[in-house]
């Protein structure tokens, strides 16, 4: 489960607002047995996470690894790795833990970047809520491999197999206002 979580930085975070479900794309990072998210102190789920009871959430991460083309329509599927975390998200108030979390959120997106950027200042930190979710109730679902066709379909004339899918990274594009003497850092060219 750690490997699946560590291979991504974007989750879909579900919570209940006025009785109805809400699912928001959200950045996250794992530190030991805890996930961290952050955002504006004004945003709804983060504000609720600051209340005594915290906020009940479901955090889901899904990697698509392949399109599974079976001989029959019904057995078409996706190869994927998914982790679902249920629990209570709570705001982090301890300055040291907040700092650890914000570092992890940068490092999880681009390893090596946290030490090559200006850290948040006091005003920015005051405007940022950090939320923690413990990895207590976690399940993983994974599908790999070939299609599972029914025996009676094996002689059908349709091509069957898997089309691999991956997330890939392109060439870093400098910002328009970047000083041209600043070169692309090694942690980006290694990617």
Closest CB 33 distance from its own copies, rounded Å: 20
Please, is 160 exposed, middle or buried when counting C-beta atoms within 10 Å of its C-beta (0-12, 13-18, 19+)?
middle
| CA–CA distances in Å: residue 124 to residues 65, 119, 151 | 38, 9, 61
Closest CB 138 distance from its own copies, rounded Å: 13
Per CB under 8 A, which of residues 102..131 are in contact with its own copies? 102, 106, 109-110, 113-114, 116-120, 124, 128
CA distance linking residue 128 with residue 73, whole number of Å:
48
Kindly state whether residue 16 participates in binding its own copies, applying the rule CB under 8 A. yes
The correct pick among 42, 96, 154, 190 for binding its own copies (CB under 8 A) is: 154
Per CB under 8 A, which of residues 29..68 are in contact with its own copies? 56-60, 62, 64, 66-67
For 1-57, give the DSSP string.
Answer: -HHHHHT-SEEEEEEEETTEEEEEEEE-EEETTEEEEEEETTSHHHHHHTSTT-EEE
The correct pick among 21, 42, 95, 180 for binding its own copies (CB under 8 A) is: 21
Per CB under 8 A, which of residues 63..92 are in contact with its own copies? 64, 66-67, 69-74, 76, 78, 80, 82, 84, 86
């Amino acid at each position: 489960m750690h490997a699946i979580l560590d291979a991504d930085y974007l989750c879909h975070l579900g919570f209940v607002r006025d009785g109805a479900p809400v699912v928001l794309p959200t950045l996250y990072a794992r530190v030991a047995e805890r996930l961290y998210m952050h955002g504006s102190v004004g945003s709804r789920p983060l504000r609720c996470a600051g209340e005594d009871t915290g906020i009940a959430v479901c955090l889901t991460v899904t990697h698509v690894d392949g399109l599974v083309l079976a001989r029959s329509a019904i057995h078409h599927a996706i190869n994927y790795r998914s982790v679902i975390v249920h629990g209570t998200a709570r705001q982090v108030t301890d300055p040291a833990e907040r700092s650890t979390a914000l570092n992890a959120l940068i490092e999880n997106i681009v390893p090596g970047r946290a030490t090559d950027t200006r850290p948040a200042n006091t005003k920015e930190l005051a405007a940022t809520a950090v939320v923690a979710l413990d990895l207590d109730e976690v399940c993983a679902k994974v599908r790999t491999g070939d299609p599972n066709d029914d025996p009676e379909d094996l002689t059908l004339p349709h091509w069957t197999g898997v089309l691999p899918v991956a997330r890939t990274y392109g060439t870093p594009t400098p910002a328009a206002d970047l000083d041209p003497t600043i070169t692309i850092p090694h942690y980006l060219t290694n990617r």
